[in-house]
Amino acid sequence: MSLSDEIAERLLTAIINGDFPAGSMLPPEGELAERYAASRLTVREAVKVLRAQNVVRIHRGRGTYVNPPDRWTALEPVIRAAAGASRSGGVVSERLIEARRMIEIGAVELAAVRRSKEDLEQLRSLLDDMRDAAAAQDTDLFVSADIAFHDCVMRAAGNAFIPLLFEPFGRLLEEGRRETSAVPAIRENAIAHHALILEALITGDARQARQAMDAHMAQTVDDLRVHVLSAPNVADPESSHGSV
């Protein structure tokens, strides 16, 4: 990584952390150069990197201004901003579920007619892992098995592009699952819905599979609102791993 790229990363981090909020003007080049112990030329190149991603915009004669994240055009900065926002509210979590719903309902419909015997065996094993983790109150194991179950469904759809759609969101998915899966009632609901999804995939009924995944996504949103967003403390006191 070049020095200008490194400065761009540090500047992006400062923007995401709120040092330079959306709509604000970045300090002059000289001040940024002093802040990051770099030359003005290096700072100028770093700002160009962020400008190419539409993180900032330049008004000649006025200065460089920070754009809101919904105008950024590069995926990595958007994901980093979303990860930061998810720690302070549930809006990002709900938006992520919306995106999952759009993709996973279609994926499970394809998986119902394309899944292999090996896919079904893996899904059964992962569902057993979820049950074992819930019984052991092991949130980490539960989250791993849950994510792996959905990943298996997407791969069973037989379309190489589908699993790749969510690959950049791995960190957000894990954080969101950890937040909700720390609640025993949510674990129970998840197991029940995953069992219905597996049943539909076993029978090869695409319509049933679609309905089962849709119901699971709806339940996930409801659980998030009832057990997490409205609760003053979502930590599971019985979990050996706690929650994030």
Tens-digit pLDDT profile for residues 151-167: 999 999 999 999 988 88
DSSP 70-117: GG---HHHHHHHHHHHHTS-SHHHHHHHHHHHHHHHHHHHHHHHH--H
- Is-contact 152 126, C-beta < 8 A? yes
Confidence of residue 243 (pLDDT cuts 50, 70, 90): very low
Tell whether 48 and 150 lie within a shared domain. Answer: no
> Which CATH number is 97's domain given?
1.20.120.530
The pLDDT assigned to 1 comes to 78
237, amino acid identity:
P
> Which CATH number is 63's domain given?
1.10.10.10
Q: Which of 73, 100, 125 is the last residue of a domain?
A: 73
Single out the residue of 38, 41, 35, 2 nearest to residue 19, CA to CA: 35
37-46, 48-57, 96-105, 146-155: least confidently modelled range: 96-105
Both tokens assigned to 52: 């190419």
179, amino acid identity:
E
Distance of alpha carbon 240 from alpha carbon 243, whole angstroms? 9
The reported pTM is 0.72
| Position 235 in a domain | no
Range of the domain at 29: 3-73
Both tokens assigned to 19: 């040092």
Distance of alpha carbon 32 from alpha carbon 36, whole angstroms? 6
Q: Which of 46, 73, 100 is the last residue of a domain?
A: 73
Confidence of residue 239 (pLDDT cuts 50, 70, 90): very low
Q: How are the residues of the chain apportioned to helix, strand and coil, as percentages rounded to the nearest 5?
A: 70, 5, 25
Pairing mode of beta strands 56-59, 63-66:
antiparallel
Single out the residue of 112, 138, 139, 134 nearest to residue 123, CA to CA: 112
Confidence of residue 235 (pLDDT cuts 50, 70, 90): very low
Specify which residues 57 forms β-bridges with.
65
| Position 151 in a domain | yes
Both tokens assigned to 203: 């029978």
Count of the separate structural domains present in the chain = 2
Q: Which of 14, 41, 73 is the last residue of a domain?
A: 73
- Is-contact 204 114, C-beta < 8 A? no
According to DSSP, residue 235 is labeled -
Question: Could you read off the pLDDT of 111-130 as tens digits, one per residue?
Answer: 999 999 999 999 999 999 99
Question: Could you read off the pLDDT of 172-194 as tens digits, one per residue?
Answer: 788 778 878 889 999 999 999 99
Single out the residue of 15, 151, 28, 136 nearest to residue 84, CA to CA: 15
